[in-house]
Amino acid sequence: MQLAVLGAGAIALASAALAASRGHTVRVWSPSGRGTAGLRANGGRLAATGGVAGGVDVVAAETPAEALAGTACVLVAVPANGHRAVMEAAAPHLASGQTVLVSAAASLSPLYLDRLIGARGALVAGFGTTALTARRGADGVSVQVATLRGVCDVAAVRAAETPEAIATASALWGERFVPAESVLAAALANINPIAHTAMALCNLSRIEHREVWPQYHCTTPAVARLILAMDAERQALAAAVGVRIPTAEAFFRRSYGLNAPDLAGMMVELHARPGGPAGPTTLETRYVLEDVPFGLVFYLALAREARVAMPVTEGAVRLASAAWGRDLAAMNDLLPVLGPLSATAAS
């Protein structure tokens, strides 16, 4: 299969490496142009370690048109704060017969892309989270694949097309994809907004001091309680809008194959494994600048429509905005173009 990966960060390069290692042809396009400069200079050779080991060859495309021409599948793999711009750049070059997978379905962005494509009718689906975790090498031509998730939720914009989306994703990246009820369910299923926000807020001084801190070791029982408090509000929101999503504990258990009975114990179990990730070391971290605007702020917008109270989540947004000195809610550029979320998700 021919795959176009839109993005050149850690998840994009890791997804490209895994698909290429499985015999697929991969083109990579970087919205900034800088992300693929190293690949182009290296003849398209990408070195992978960890969950994918060895070198693979990819094509570094210079334009979205070049990346997308004739491809069977497209993966949108940029941070959520880049979804709108990348989708608007790609939409004119997408056509019927292509499958577009969005990793992940933050703030219902797959629905916005489907609206942009219009009558051309490509199959658009969103992941509940990334299919893997990874770290991009500073050289731009290497990536470490840290984890291949055990389970990743997938939902197509048109529910009848979800099995086809899962079949395509499985062919590219292996049998780890399961159906979500809807794109809304996939968007709410991602644990990152509540987990990352709690980790960042509770380890803020470590981030500012640029300490090297083990992420899961520093997700102490108190941090786990904060995650679970926000998760309880997220579960109530999901129930109010009529979808079912995994709890935080179920998400971690199935993603990483954990055995501990509670979230705090799972953090201990994850820390004991080799190669666990360090936490962020700069305030310019996606844990807040992506996951708060496109996760927690999205939850609150939907909660206002559904008349669900989320005081802990709202407090986390206010605290993060104060500490980061930014209006994090204003950073979500998808909410203004989506309109009422309940109506958008149902259409």
pTM for the whole structure = 0.93
| pLDDT at 275 > cutoff 80 | no
Residue type present at position 116 = L
pLDDT digits (tens, 9 = 90+) for 7-29: 999 999 999 999 999 999 999 99
Identify the structural domains of the chain with CATH numbers, from first to last.
2-182 (3.40.50.720), 192-346 (1.10.1040.10)
For the stretch 283-340, pLDDT in tens is: 999 999 999 999 999 999 999 999 999 999 999 999 999 999 999 999 999 999 998 8
Segment 323-338, tens digit of pLDDT: 999 999 999 999 999 9
> Above 80 in pLDDT, residue 113?
yes
